[in-house]
């Protein structure tokens, strides 16, 4: 049937396939015990911020600043083609590059924190969670980024591997 086809073709669960088909047809499915409209709105904002961060990390890897990260990936057997195909990226060494870039687009530090991309610091200032690391997007079956795994490039950077925290979109 149509639901089974969508499940298999798009890699969705039964409820996700039903929601997808209903949305295409303009049918509203009431949520029982699910997220509130406010939570769904927050989830969508987090998804957009994660997509923004993914594009930011990919651009940083391709930039002159990403040279060390590209060299690391090449040395580990990841040619540029593979890095592009899997969306590998680079989180610059700056404490707030992602925060500043996202802020120019109207993204608040709190939303970056909710997405697992920033941490609160002293005196209420935030800082980037991932710094001077190769980033590996962790995505769902639809290709939407849920969080990131990241590998430190500096010898003294700890932990060596750092994953994003649980969020509204990643559990």
| pLDDT of amino acid 162 | 97
The pLDDT of residue 31 is: 63
Check if the beta carbon of residue 162 is closer than 8 Å to that of residue 156.
no
Q: Where are the alpha helices (DSSP H) in the chain?
A: 2-10, 14-25, 37-62, 67-75, 80-85, 97-103, 109-114
State the pTM of this model: 0.81
Residue 8 pLDDT grade (very low, low, confident, very high; cuts 50, 70, 90): confident
- pLDDT value of residue 57: 98
Quick one: pLDDT at residue 152? 97
* Residue with the two structure tokens 């409820």: 15
Q: What is the pLDDT of residue 19?
A: 85
pLDDT per position as a tens digit, 25-39: 888 877 655 667 787
CA distance 127 to 102: 12
Task: Report, as an integer, the average pLDDT of 122-151.
Answer: 94
Q: In this model, does residue 74 exceed pLDDT 90? A: yes
């Amino acid at each position: 049937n149509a639901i089974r086809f969508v499940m298999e073709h798009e890699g969705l669960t039964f409820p996700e396939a039903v929601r997808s088909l209903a949305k295409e047809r303009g049918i509203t499915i009431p949520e029982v015990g699910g997220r509130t409209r406010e939570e769904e709105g927050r989830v969508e904002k987090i998804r957009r911020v994660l997509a923004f961060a993914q594009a930011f990390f990919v651009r940083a890897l391709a930039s002159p600043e990403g040279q060390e990260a590209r060299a690391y990936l090449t040395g580990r057997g990841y040619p540029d083609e593979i890095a592009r195909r899997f969306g590998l990226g680079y989180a610059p060494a700056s404490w707030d590059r992602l925060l500043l870039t996202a802020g120019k687009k109207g993204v608040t530090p709190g939303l970056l924190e909710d997405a697992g991309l920033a941490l609160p610091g002293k005196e209420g200032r935030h800082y980037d969670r991932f710094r001077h690391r190769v980033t590996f997007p962790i995505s769902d079956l639809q290709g939407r980024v849920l969080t990131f795994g990241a590998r430190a490039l500096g010898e003294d950077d700890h932990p060596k591997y750092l994953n994003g925290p649980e969020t509204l979109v990643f559990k």
